[in-house]
A and B are shown apart, each in its own frame.
Chain A
Amino acid sequence: MKYPGSIRPLLFALASLAICLAPLPAQEQIDITHPGGSKRIPISLEGYTGEVLNVLTFDLEIQGFEVTGADKAQYFVSGSNNSDVTGRLADRVSKSTLLSVRYTGGTLRSEAHTLSDAIVEKITGRNGIARSKIAFKVETGQNSEIYVADYDGHNAKQVTQDHTITRDPAWVPARRVLYYTSYKAGNPDIYVHDLQSGTRRAFARYPGLNAGAAPSPDGRRVALVLSKGGSPDIYVCDADGSNLKPLTRTREAESSPCWSPDGRTICFSSRHEGKSALFVVSAEGGSMRRLSTGGALNCTEPDWSPDGKQIVFTRLAGDFEICVVPAGGGAMTPLVAGEDPAWAPNSRTVIFTRRVKGKRVVSLLDVPTKQIKDIQQTSGSCSQPCWAK
């Protein structure tokens, strides 16, 4: 069902309101499998070699394009990568030049990413994600450390050197700051780490579990999982650690809080009704309400899309599977095998973990076209990816 653009926000607001009032069926029909089209856009690349060709191909193919020969292409990109990356974008139909650029001053990789972002934006109107950053966990033996990298896994840099379990990385939106959990002080505690200064401080070190820190979209608050009350519950506090308050008080285990983009609602996983399922609660407190996931069982690890429309999560149905559901609840769509999904800033690409022969690898998924690409893996088992937004 299509609505005129002008009333879509209103409908979405109504749908959001409905979440707070009653477990209504989905109020807005969102065509999850085809936002922007599930058909890949054929595009050709001419004049590029080696690393630049690889980067452009990876970037475009994970954002809904198919790199083909010029005979099949709807768009043509031609240029060079001699010392600098240049590019000219043309369209088969109009034959006109849509873009003509030359980048200087960066590495070939960064210039190629910049070009692919420009191409994506020109053709689709969406912001490209090729210059965005991710964080993830790398396991070596019994320990794990936090890394940050380009979104394709290149230029990975180790953030922690705790030589213990370090996990649950989460970026503060629009800042080069990470929250994560480390066992360095003998207990799972939450730290906040400024990547620019390289300094960190303990953020939450209550008795028991301190984990799953999720900064709010405006960065002013943090949702987290604490067990100090005698059971793992969802709490929220200010970014300085003050004003801590519980949002859940169940005997069963809660995990994986995430925020709606308006900062009003927190979605999380709970075993409150026996099996793990998704719930929502107001960030100000109140009763928790089950989010309908169309009969999917054993749902965990929700992540709310930045455009507010969808929640991606993991379900266990024999194996782990990535699924999406409208943010108001409703019919869920299974996507691919995998777990721990997180949205890119474009609300289209998802980063997730796959288990391959007992090891974990981090992969990217273009949701509409279901294209999957593994990122460049850091040595070890990589998991818990998250996106800088």
Chain B
Amino acid sequence: MKYSKVLNLSVVVLALSLGAVGCQPKPKSPTPILGRTGNPRGIGDTFGKETPVTQLPPDQNPTAGPGGEIPLQGRYNPDEMTPDHNRFAANTVYFDFDRATIKPSETGKIDEVVRYLQGSPTHAVQIEGHCDERGTEQYNLSLGERRALAVREYLVRAGVQAERAFTISYGESRPAVPGHNEAAWSKNRRGVFVLLTPK
């Protein structure tokens, strides 16, 4: 597999700066699924291999960057990394209702994570996206992912390699605070950093 070593964080990867994102080459054949080999427990043969994606006109191509989307690269593999949920507990990013934009009040917390990752080049981070209960379930799953991706875009623009930032959405299914009022909701609309250390 051409990209099979991307997850190996000792490999020097191309740093994506904001400028580099803007002039990224056209999409290559899409990133294959990385990580696990063989069959997961209790599951038959896997597929999901990808054939080349139909090219969209340049103005719709997210890698061209007007929207700022940065394609995901690789999957977080729990067999290769140990998660630490406490290291960045104070760095949780909060969002406004039904929004996935990073508020100015939250950027300092992300900058701390950026500095940590720049000082620890073998570490990676998983960004959890969460929602309050006031969206429908499938909508919240996509909104939670959009929030995690917004945090990831901030990290990558600040110089963290795209391959070191994974996202996962939990929608509304893992609230930080129980309750059905704004006090609870405002704590549940969040992006959470999980530090990943290679095993």
Contact = CB atoms under 8 A, between A and B. Distances in A.
Q: B51, B53, B73, B136 — which one has the most chain A CB atoms within 10 A of its CB? A: B136
How many residues of B sit at the interface, in one of the four size bands?
35 or more
B71 A228 contact: yes
B139 A256 contact: yes
Contacts, number: 175
B122 interface: no
Given A244-B50, A339-B136, A251 B141 contact: no
Given A142-B173, A200-B43, A242-B49, A255 B73 contact: no
Interface stretch (A55-63, A88-96, A179-187): A179-187
Given A199-B44, A230-B62, A249-B56, A211 B138 contact: yes
A373 interface: no
A207 B44 contact: no
B119 interface: no
Contacts of A314: 136
Interface in B88-130: 98, 100
B138 A256 contact: yes
A139 B173 contact: yes
A300 B138 CA distance: 8
Interface residues of A, number: 63
Contacts of A167: 137, 141, 173
Contact of B73 (A207, A227, A243, A246): A207
A249 B60 contact: yes
Given A227-B145, A241-B49, A252-B146, A168 B33 contact: no
Given A187-B76, A225-B142, A229-B62, 8 more contacts: A201-B45, A208-B168, A246-B56, A249-B56, A249-B61, A252-B146, A253-B146, A269-B138
28 contacts: A165-B170, A168-B141, A187-B75, A199-B44, A201-B45, A203-B48, A207-B74, A211-B138, A212-B138, A225-B138, A225-B141, A227-B142, A229-B72, A230-B62, A232-B145, A240-B47, A249-B62, A253-B146, A254-B142, A255-B138, A269-B138, A275-B98, A276-B139, A298-B98, A316-B134, A316-B136, A340-B137, A384-B137
